[in-house]
Amino acid sequence: MKIVKIEAIPFAIPYVKPLRFASGEVHTAEHVLVKIHTDDGVVGVGEAPPRPFTYGETQAGIVAVIETVFAPQLIGLTLLDRERAQQRLQRTVGNPAAKSAIDIALWDALGRTLNQSVTALLGGYTDRLRVSHMLGFEEPAKMVAEAERMIETHGIRTFKVKVGRQPYTLDTVVVRTLRERFGNEIELYVDGNRGWSATEALQAMREMSDLGLSFAEELCPADDILGRRWLVDHLDIPFVADESVTTPAEVTREILGGSATALSIKCARTGFTQSQRVHHLAEGLGLEVIMGNQIDGQLGTMCTAAFGAAFSLTSRRAAELSNFLDMSDDLLTDPLEIHDGDLVVRQGAGLSVEIDESKLTHYRLDQ
Ligand code: MUC
Ligand code: MG
């Protein structure tokens, strides 16, 4: 169970349909595959999606910090030295995706070693999650057509609509059109990625107050401290903190400061170990939770599903598990599928996924 080698492999896979949102757009999955090798031949995997405009990490930066800072501190520990590994990762500030991919690969390796699924090791609550699909910025007709396709092809009935544009009516018209087209057949919530001011956000939310939205996510920046508190105070639906909660401490700060009333948990950002801590905090504070998507590939999506299915609180709401559908290809030998609105969590050892080495050779950027 001793860690003997850690690889950080950059790869790039284009999207068929780019995702556009208030803080950026993604055309190519420029991710990093992490492989952790143990002395008994087990290999655990994790996937880091850099989000330069959100957390400041880049693909090259993730490779560098893993190779030069994290790997030397972890080699020699065993897979059971989990708290020691966390302490060594977390003493470095920031770098959430790099740390998370390592943490996930450690859990995958542990699951493979013990011949248990990660979801069973974490909590083993259920075997599937309902899926929520993210609708990025497009013409209203295209966003409605995409929702239609998701309902027909995958049975998905929960949609997170990206908002945060100026003027805000560009977004409110889309949400209204979706509600009018599908009625109560669908669940809708919105995510602003910090695009609006607190005032714009409240005006937009008032204009949509008859549309039965379930949540409002990160509509304005958390650093607009008083404005955001004022906004959250005036809303009558939960306000989800997403990119403002990259650590359990930030969760405490946002929630106790009155700047959010619900949480998005992203394994791409808090791995499994820190996501557990965020989950326990949410449970203790009585907060609603959504399993979010950091525009993950299939490996990252499987991690979110494995974690979400492990607990009652994280499996209550539809989880954001469908961004991979817009990628032109992926690295797994056995692709994920969404049927009847659900994604089933595999119960094999670890994350129960295998990397297709010929695809990795094709898409990797370092050879
Ligand atoms: C989301 O929920 O915000 C967009 C940027 C990112 O990091 O995640 C996505 C989706
Ligand atoms: Mg978000």
Total residues belonging to the chain? 367
Which spans in 50-117 are helix H?
52-55, 59-65, 71-74, 82-90, 96-114
Helix (H) or strand (E) holding 193: none
Which residue minimizes the CA distance to atom 5 of ligand 1?
A: 294
**Structure confidence at residue 164 as a pLDDT band (50, 70, 90):** very high
Cβ within 8 Å of residue 178, ≥6 positions away: 135, 143, 144, 147, 159, 161, 186, 188
Ligand 1 pocket test target in 19, 20, 51 with most atoms within 8 Å of CB: 51
Q: Active-site residue 127, yes or no?
A: no
Active-site residue (options: 35, 47, 162, 342)? 162
* Mean pLDDT (the chain, rounded): 98
Question: In the prediction, which pLDDT does 74 show?
Answer: 98
**Mean pLDDT of the region 92-106:** 98
Mean pLDDT of 260-289: 98
| Contact call for residues 72 and 134 (beta carbons, < 8 A) | no
Residue 244: the pLDDT is: 98
- Arithmetic mean of pLDDT, 223-241: 98
Matching residue, tokens 């004022």: 230
Structure tokens at 17: 């349909």
**pLDDT number for residue 55:** 96
* Contact of 13 with 47, CB cutoff 8 Å: no
pLDDT digits (tens, 9 = 90+) for 9-22: 999 999 999 999 99
Report how far residue 309's alpha carbon sits from residue 317's, in angstroms, rounded to the nearest whole number: 11
HSE-CB at 246 with a 13 A cutoff on CA atoms is 19
Confidence of residue 251 (pLDDT cuts 50, 70, 90): very high
Which pTM was predicted? Answer: 0.98
- Tell me how far the alpha carbon of residue 192 lies from the centroid of ligand 2, in angstroms: 7
